[in-house]
Amino acid sequence: MSQVTHGIHTLLDNGLPAISRYITDHNSEAKAVFSTHIEERLPWQELPDGARFCLGYATEKFPVQLSQQEDLHVYQRYLENKPGITIPGGTVLRLVDMMPGALSPMHRTVSLDYGVVLEGEVELVLDSGEVRLLKRGDVAIQRGTNHAWRNASDTQWARMFSLPVEPTIFVQKMGDSFHQIRAAVIEGRAQSPRYIQRQLTLLHDALLKHQKAIRTAIKRQTNYTSAEIDAEIYLTLDAIKHDYESFDFSKVVQEEYSLAQLKDYPSRRVAVGCIYVIPSEHSRLYSIVQTVSAAITAGNCVVVELGKSASDLDSLLAKVLAGALDGETFAMVAGKPDDQDFFTQHCVVVDARKNPQTPGSAHILLAKPSRCIAVVDRTVSSADIAHAAREIARARFSFDGKSPYAPDLVLVNEFVLQEFCRAAVQYTTTLLTRGVEPDLDDDRRAMRTAIDFVDPAVMELQRAPGVSTVLSGSRGKILCMQKRDESLMSRKVTSPVLVIHSIRSLDDAIDLINSCNRNERHQAAYFFANAVTAKYLGQFIPSRLSYTNCIPIALLG
């Protein structure tokens, strides 16, 4: 085959015609001309799975700003830094080439997608097992459902055009609820003990009432097993129950009137006023509800930002929570308020995203998520090594491998490395097999659970020198790194991939861990060793949390 240069990569000719994109503009005489600001030939990029895509155009606001070529500058920026599936308030035009016989992973985009087959024939496969064959010129309207694409030909490439559109979400506009929240903060309406108890009760009862619908929404949105969905719902309800039971009404009243009874109250705490929550994508239900419950218990008003693009689960929770809680002290919104003075003076932001960003000068309550590590020492017995392998594998592969508290790197003493790997492989095989839904046929099960690690970071790790594959499957991998590459070891893992490396001694582990994390505090550290050894490791490996010989399941959800 001949080589074809398309701007970003030199790719082998796949037999499909080259594509140009023609952009119109105005010259100095206000005559319509073709723009020369951007090269007309579209640049293509190759994905790790062999597919190719190009960005035909992109905008980031509506109405589109055409003056001073602002939209062209926006597009140029996205050519250099590729956007996500959608751009909030904007548009993304893509073209995708699929290899012969290629099948994409089963996935779900929170968007309304217009898809047009330009070349070849492509099958649209749904998780129900239904399939439609799209021929050249056929159109698919993909409405936020779980789906996969398959090139129906084993010999010819196929090409598709895609234009995703953001869906609407049931949230309040900040302007509609902002004045009520402000008034409630000033008045202290959310601080009444009986009011707090009532709000917690309403929150718990509403979630319990809609438990079935919530479970269905989580199942559609994630690859979680039934047991993992049940665990998240249970932990969410239990968090509310814990907050309610920790609220001692008689003690609160006694403390409130301590001054009137001529008693000191040095431990007095007052509510901030308003807690502004930007929840994590992981364990979305728990991330939203647990934070809301804790904020209510502390006597605060609560605002939850769901963003302009949101899932069915977000829309459902918005309806359930907004319908149950007092609208004068609680709101779910799509964006931040315009009044920065109130926002920065009376709010604390709980930003649980992977890359928190400070809105204005507001105080951020949560630190940026860091890495988690596990150390398995030679002081553990054979039975304890098997236990360590079970705990670590369960943490890494549960919840689709996306828990921020799953160990990103596992350091195992060289004397017990082989025994640990054998135990990890044995338990992981059982775990991943057991996690497959029994009511799905083989084809649907394969498509539903296949992730095949399109993540470039995982692909780079697999191909790195000195990395061997201990276990490989469609739902998880175990990799062993013989060579020490701190650039790879220092990464946060967000896929079901267990990374193992051997250590010579405790001091070797301490030096390597602190070097990889630049002596910064870890999110969590797990030590599988005797008590004396665990104490030594905990003393010299800084972490926000540390556990010995266990990884609590409640931490992962």
Please say whether the beta carbons of 63 and 70 come within 8 A.
no
Question: Buried b vs exposed e over 185-219: b needs ≥16 C-beta within 10 Å?
Answer: beeebbbebeebbebbebbbebbeebeeebbebbb
Please say whether the beta carbons of 493 and 406 come within 8 A.
yes
**pLDDT, the chain, mean:** 83
Q: What is the DSSP string of 183-197?
A: HHHHHTGGG-HHHHH
| Positions in the chain short of pLDDT 70 | 1-12, 48-49, 108, 110, 167-177, 259, 265, 267-268, 308-310, 337-346, 354-369, 434-457
∠ CA 360-365-366 to the nearest 5 degrees?
110
Backbone angles phi, psi at 291, to 5 degrees: -70, -40
Question: Can you state the percent helix, strand and coil of the chain, rounding each to 5?
Answer: 35, 25, 40
CA atoms of 116 and 129, how far apart (whole Å): 21
pLDDT at 417: 95
Please say whether the beta carbons of 406 and 369 come within 8 A.
no
CA atoms of 206 and 244, how far apart (whole Å): 15
* Residue 349: strand pairing partners: 276, 364
User: Domains along the chain?
Assistant: 24-165 (2.60.120.10), 175-366 (3.40.605.10), 372-434+451-555 (3.40.309.10)
Q: Is 230 exposed, middle or buried (0-12, 13-18, 19+ CB in 10 A)?
A: middle
Q: What is the pLDDT of residues 318-374, one digit of tens each?
A: 889 988 999 889 988 877 766 666 666 667 787 777 665 554 444 555 556 688 999
